Amino acid sequence: MSSSIHEFPFPFEENEYRYKNNSVLLDPPRSITVDDRYEEELDLKRRLLVNHHDRCYQSLSHSLEAQWEVLRLIFYELAQYNPEDFQLKRHGNEWIFQNHRLQEEERFIFRDTGSIELEPLDLAGRHVQEDLILMGDRHGDLFLDAGQLCFPSNWSLVFTLGMDFKSIHDPVPGIQQHHFINKVHRFIKRIQPGQSWERKNWSITIGPKLDTHLETYAEWGKLRDQVTEDNAGDKVHLRVEVQRLYRLPVNNDVLFTIHTYLLPLVKLVTHPAWLRQFYQNIISLDQDIADYKGISHYQEAMLAYMERWLPGERNSQHDR
Ligand code: HEM
């Protein structure tokens, strides 16, 4: 299931990890990407939504108007950038969205909630690989008003629903240092209508598992203790989230999309420049961040595995 190395969005630009607003403005503004894992990931997403709907979908009722705007954005974008796979036809308020990849058709009256069985955000999210988080912009702050979250990196939608931007980030160690999260907040507030910004976030997951909800931590968290130098290549996966922030022009809320990619170490070691930079980031990671990301359990084992391709690297680290 893992990503091909050629398409993998390698997130590191420096040899040491620090929180950074590495966002870049996208031209044209995009909020989603369709790739060759589309069918596989949509199948998993929909199974999660059917079996664990509350865990994967939450909304506050006042978000409905903005949800319709998100649905319009997503269906337009799919049809515009992948016209061979998706089509959108409009006859007044009667819309027909065709998804040829999944051989499906959605017919509905735009902004008539009675014409669809799901909420608009829930429907839109079933046609894209991304998780979709809707941040309401009110009273000078951003609040998590709705979300479809099937592939979270160890967080909970039920817990964060309705929370403000800074409270959501409270569990992240050191995020308030140098006013980092305040600056990010101000940056998002300044995003102009119709603009889209993209950044990458990284973590590590054991096994090729996209659905690491906080609610199921007891199932997947214990795998962290099973990593050894010999199995690290197959078990340890670099997890990268390509995150996009899009300011909705009509409602002025912010759509936050998360596209998650996984790359096993056994593939990463075939790319020498990436391997060296990843190694340097892992060996120099602050203890509190290594603990937060769950890496402390197997940091030594994965470093030892990578050193098989980087002889002498640890000593040269000490000499720096
Ligand atoms: C408005 C959209 C955003 C939402 C909804 C959001 C939400 C979250 C959540 C739920 C977490 C996990 C917190 C936990 O452990 O419980 C997180 C982590 C984090 N967020 Fe955000 N975030 C957003 C935008 C951003 C932006 C724009 C930045 C930086 C420019 C950022 C930086 C971070 C960092 C550094 C972490 C720690 C991640 C890690 O080390 O794995 N976030 N965010």
pLDDT per position as a tens digit, 25-73: 999 999 999 999 999 999 999 999 999 999 999 999 999 999 999 999 9
pLDDT in tens, 178-216: 999 999 999 999 999 999 999 999 999 999 999 999 999
| Active-site residue, 199 included | yes
Q: What is the mean pLDDT of residues 295-310?
A: 98
Residue 320, in any domain of the structure: no
Closest C-alpha to ligand 1, atom 13? 169
Strand partners, 256: 133, 245
Residue 317, in any domain of the structure: no
Residue 316, in any domain of the structure: no
Residue 319, in any domain of the structure: no
- The total number of structural domains in the chain stands at 1
Q: Is 184 in the pocket of ligand 1 (CB under 6 A)?
A: yes
Task: Measure 96 CA to ligand 1 centroid, in angstroms.
Answer: 35
CA angle 10, 11, 12 (to 5 degrees): 105
Residue 236, in any domain of the structure: yes
- Given this model, what pLDDT does residue 293 score? 98
Catalytic site residue from 30, 199, 224, 276: 199
Determine the residue of 17, 25, 141, 172 to mutate for testing ligand 1's pocket, defined as the one with the most ligand atoms within 8 A of the Cβ atom: 172
Q: Which residue shows structure tokens 């002889």?
A: 311
- Structural domain boundaries, residue 207: 5-308
Task: Measure 25 CA to ligand 1 centroid, in angstroms.
Answer: 18
Question: Is 2 a residue whose pLDDT tops 70?
Answer: no
Q: Which residue shows structure tokens 């659905």?
A: 211
Q: Is 143 in the pocket of ligand 1 (CB under 6 A)?
A: no
Residue 272, in any domain of the structure: yes
Residue 318, in any domain of the structure: no
